[in-house]
Structure 1
Amino acid sequence: MGKGGSSSSSLNESVVKKILLSYAYVSIWIFLSFTVIVYNKYILDKKMYNWPFPISLTMIHMIFCSSLAFLLVRVFKFVEPVAMTRELYISSVLPIGALYSLSLWFSNSAYIYLSVSFIQMLKALMPVAVYSIGVAFKKEGFKSNVMVNMLSISFGVAIAAYGEARFDSWGVILQLGAVAFEATRLVLIQILLGSKGINFNPITSLYYVSPCCLAFLFLPWVLVEFPILKETSSFHFDWAIFGTNSVCAFALNLAVFLLVGKTSALTMNVAGVVKDWLLIAFSWQVIKDTVTPINLFGYGIAFLGVTYYNYLKYQALMAKEVQKKAQPADEETGKLLEERDGVASAKKVDSEA
C-alpha cells in the first residue's frame, strides 16, 4: 500500500509540475508578446515617442538578432548550425526571409495609423489567411464546415472594422498585407523546409533568416526612410530605447520556441486569443483608445470562430495521437499473426514429413 501511495503521489506531482511549467511558458510568451507590441506602438506612434520609421525599426531588430545569433552559433557554439547548401538557401530561406521582412515592415507600419485594439481584431483573420493559402497550395484539404467558420471570422472582423472609431484605410491595407505575408510564410515553412526535414530552432532561424530580412529591407529603406532621416538633424540614436526594444524582440523569438517546443502550436494559438483580449483591454483602459460596442460585438463573433477553429485543430491533433498509439498495436498484432502462421506452417510440414 505504501509503495502504491508513493507512486501515485509522485505521478500527481509530475502532472502538477508539467501543468505549472505549461502555464509558466504561456505567461512568459504572453508577457513578451504584449511588451513587444506595446513597445513598438510607443516608438512608432506620433502621439508617443514619435519615431514613425517602421523599416528602420525592423532593421534595428534584424541587425541585433543577426549579430546575437551569429555569436551564439559561430563564436560561442551554443547551438549547431543546420546543414545548409547554397541551393537550399536560395530556394527555401530567401523566399521565407522576403515574406518575413514584408510581414514585419507592414505590421509595424500599421501601428502608425491604427489603434492596438483594432490591430488585434484584424489579426483574428490569420486562421482565414493560413487556411486559404494552405488550400491554394494544396497543403490543406478543402472542407465546407471549415470554410463556413472562416467566413464567420471574416464577417466578425468586418463588423469590428465597421464600428472602428479611428478607421484608416491605409492602415487596414497595411495590416491585412502583413497578415497575408505572414500566413504565406507559415505555409511555405511547411512546404519548403518541412518537406526537406529541416527544423530551425529560434537561434538558427534568426541566424539564417535575419540577414536575409535585412538585405530585403535595405532597398525600401534607402528609397523611403533614409532621405527623411538624413534631413532630420535633431535625431540621435537612443541606445536605451532601441536596445531594450531589440532585446524584447529577440527574447520573444526564444519564448515562441519555448512555448511551442514544450507544449504545442495549438497552445500558442489559444494563448494568442487570451493575449489579444488583454491587449484590447490595455489599449482601452491605459492607452485610452476608443473601443466601441460594435467593435466588441464584431470581434466577439470572430473570437467564437477562432475558438471553434482551435477546437477543430485540437480534435485533429487528438485523432492523430490515437492513430499513432494504434499503429504500434496493429504492428504487434501483425507480428503475432505472422508468428502464429509460421508455427502452423512448420507443424504442417512436420506432419507431412
Structure 2
Amino acid sequence: MQSTAISFSPSISLSKKPISVPTCSSKFNPISLSSSLRFNPLHSSPKFLKSPIRCSSDSSASGNPIRSGWISGPPPPPEPESVDGVKVRATSVPETAGEKPEGKALGDTLVLGSLFGLWYLFNIYFNIYNKQVLKVYPYPVTVTVIQFAVGTALVTFMWLFNLYKRPKITGGQLVAILPLAVVHVLGNLFTNMSLGKVAVSFTHTIKAMEPFFSVVLSAMFLGEMPTIWVVASLLPIAGGVGLASMTEASFNWAGFWSAMASNLTNQSRNVLSKKFMVKKEESMDNITLFSIITIMSFFLLAPAAIFMEGVKFTPSFLQAAELNVKQIYIRSLLAALCFHAYQQVSYMILQRVSPVTHSVGNCVKRVVVIVTSVLFFRSPVSPINSLGTGIALAGVFLYSRVKGIKPKTA
C-alpha cells in the first residue's frame, strides 16, 4: 500500500448502515475508496476481504453510467495516480506519522556527527602516541608491524565472535588484493618514517600534496584527465607546501621525502583499487577489504622487519636502551588501536556520505591534527610557516569541492 496524504480524525464516528457516497467529477477525485478494503479501527492498516466489495453512487456529475447500492464483484481497474496534477493517495496514517522521519533524520545526523568526532579523536591520539614512541624508539618498520599485528588481532576477534560478517575469500580475490596490500604497507611505513624524522604538523602539511599525486596517477593509468578547476586547485597546494617547507624548523630531507613517498603509495592504492577491483563482490565491502589488507600487510611486513631491524622490541632490548618498557608498550598499543580504529570509522563514514563530503571531512581532520599536534608538542611555528600550511590546506579544500565538476561537452 502506498503512504497517504490524508489522515482520519479520531473524532469521526462510523455508521453501521451503508451510506451512498457520491462520486466527484472525473477531473478531481480527492478520495478513492479501494474496492478490496475494509476499515478496522483497531488496526492502522486496512484488511483484505476474500470477496471484495465496492461502493458506487446513484448519480454522476460527468454523465457516466449510474450504479447504485452495494455491489459484490471483482475490483475495478486502478484509478490514475494523479488527476490534473494532484496525486491521490487514500490510506489511513496516524496524525503523528510525519514525526518519525524527522526523528530518524535527527538520529542519523547524531550518529554521523559522532562518527566524525571519533574519526578525528582517534586520528589525533594516533599521531600523538605514535610520535612519542618514534621519538625515543627509532625503528619505524617494527612500529608499523606492531600496528598491523594489533589490527590483525582485532579483525580476527571480530570475525571469530561474529561481530562483523566473516567473508568468503577466493584465491582470485587474494591475488587482486595483493597489490593493494603492498602499497598499503609502503604508505604507512613511509608515514611512520616521516613522523620519526620531522614534526607531526610538517608531515601532515606535506601529506596535503596527496591530491596532486592522485591527479597525476589517475591521468597516467586510468586516463582520467583533470578539469581546469582541478588543475587550478593544485597550485595553492604546491605553493603552500613549498612555503611551509622553506620555513619549517624541523625540516630534513629524510622526513620530507618519506612523506612524499607516502603520498605516492597511498594514492597508488586508490588507483589500483579502481583498476583491479572494478567488480566488487557481494561480501567485499570497504571494511572487509580494509580488514583483509590489514592481515596481508602484517604477513608481508613482519619478515622484512626482522630482516631490516631485527627483534628489537623485547623487554631486555628496551631496558638495555634505557627506555621505559611499560611506557613504550602502552603507547605502542594505544597508537596501534587508534590507528586501526580511525581507519575503520573512516570507512563507516564513507558508507554514509558521498566521496566529496568524506574528502572535505578529511581536509578538516588534517587541520585539526596539525593544530592539536602543534599545541601538544609545542612545535615552533613561524608566521610564514603557518601561512604556507594554511594556503596548502585551503587548496586541498578547494580541490575537494571542484573535483566533481564535469567538463562541458561540445
Name the TM tier (shorter chain).
0.7 to 0.9
What does residue 330 of structure 1 align with?
none
Alpha-carbon distance in structure 2 between the residues aligned to 1:304 and 1:199? 38
1:261–1:182 CA distance, 2 compared to 1 (3 A): same
SS in 1 for 2:163: coil
More RCO (CA 8 Å, sep 6+)? 1
What does residue 256 of structure 1 align with?
346
* 1:305 aligns with one of 370, 377, 395: 395
The worse-fitting range, judged by mean Cα deviation, of 299-308 and 125-134 is 299-308
Query: 1:233: Cα distance to partner?
Result: 5.9
SS in 2 for 1:286: helix
Q: TM-score, normalised by structure 1?
A: 0.78
1:97–1:285 CA distance, 2 compared to 1 (3 A): same
Deviation digits for residues 119-147 of structure 1 (CA, Å, limit 9, x no counterpart): 12111111111121111112523323322
What does residue 243 of structure 2 align with?
159
Alpha-carbon distance in structure 1 between the residues aligned to 2:404 and 2:113? 18
What does residue 34 of structure 1 align with?
124
Larger Rg: 2
2:145 aligned partner, one-letter code: M
* 1:65 aligns with one of 151, 172, 175: 151
Contact 1:65 1:206 survives alignment (8 Å)? no
Alpha-carbon distance in structure 2 between the residues aligned to 1:15 and 1:77? 29
1:203–1:19 CA distance, 2 compared to 1 (3 A): closer
* Aligned sequence identity (%): 21
Q: TM-score, normalised by structure 2?
A: 0.68
1:68–1:25 CA distance, 2 compared to 1 (3 A): closer
What does residue 85 of structure 1 align with?
170
Contact 1:117 1:291 survives alignment (8 Å)? no
SS in 1 for 2:310: helix
1:233–1:162 CA distance, 2 compared to 1 (3 A): closer
Alpha-carbon distance in structure 2 between the residues aligned to 1:44 and 1:228? 13
Alpha-carbon distance in structure 1 between the residues aligned to 2:392 and 2:287? 34
Deviation digits for residues 229-252 of structure 1 (CA, Å, limit 9, x no counterpart): 689362647543333332222222
Alpha-carbon distance in structure 1 between the residues aligned to 2:217 and 2:363? 21
What are the within-5 Å matches in structure 2 for residues 1-353 of structure 1?
Answer: 6-45=96-135, 50-73=136-159, 75-90=160-175, 92-138=176-222, 140-197=224-281, 200-201=284-285, 204-226=288-310, 232=317, 234=319, 236=325, 239-313=329-403
Gap runs ≥5 in structure 2: 1-6, 10-92
Contact 2:191 2:259 survives alignment (8 Å)? yes
SS in 1 for 2:381: coil
CA RMSD of aligned residues (A): 2.8
Alpha-carbon distance in structure 1 between the residues aligned to 2:336 and 2:178? 23
SS in 1 for 2:151: helix
Gap runs ≥5 in structure 1: 320-353
Alpha-carbon distance in structure 2 between the residues aligned to 1:26 and 1:215? 31
SS in 1 for 2:178: helix
Alpha-carbon distance in structure 2 between the residues aligned to 1:14 and 1:85? 38
Contact 2:245 2:251 survives alignment (8 Å)? yes
Q: Which has the higher helix share?
A: 1
1:60 aligned partner, one-letter code: I
The worse-fitting range, judged by mean Cα deviation, of 150-159 and 101-110 is 150-159
Deviation digits for residues 88-140 of structure 1 (CA, Å, limit 9, x no counterpart): 312x2111111011111110111111111111211111111112111111252
Query: 1:202: Cα distance to partner?
Result: 5.8
What does residue 35 of structure 2 align with?
none
Contact 1:202 1:254 survives alignment (8 Å)? no
What does residue 335 of structure 1 align with?
none
Contact 2:191 2:262 survives alignment (8 Å)? yes
Deviation digits for residues 141-196 of structure 1 (CA, Å, limit 9, x no counterpart): 33233223223311221111112122111100001001110010011112212345
Query: 1:83: Cα distance to partner?
Result: 4.2
1:21–1:70 CA distance, 2 compared to 1 (3 A): closer
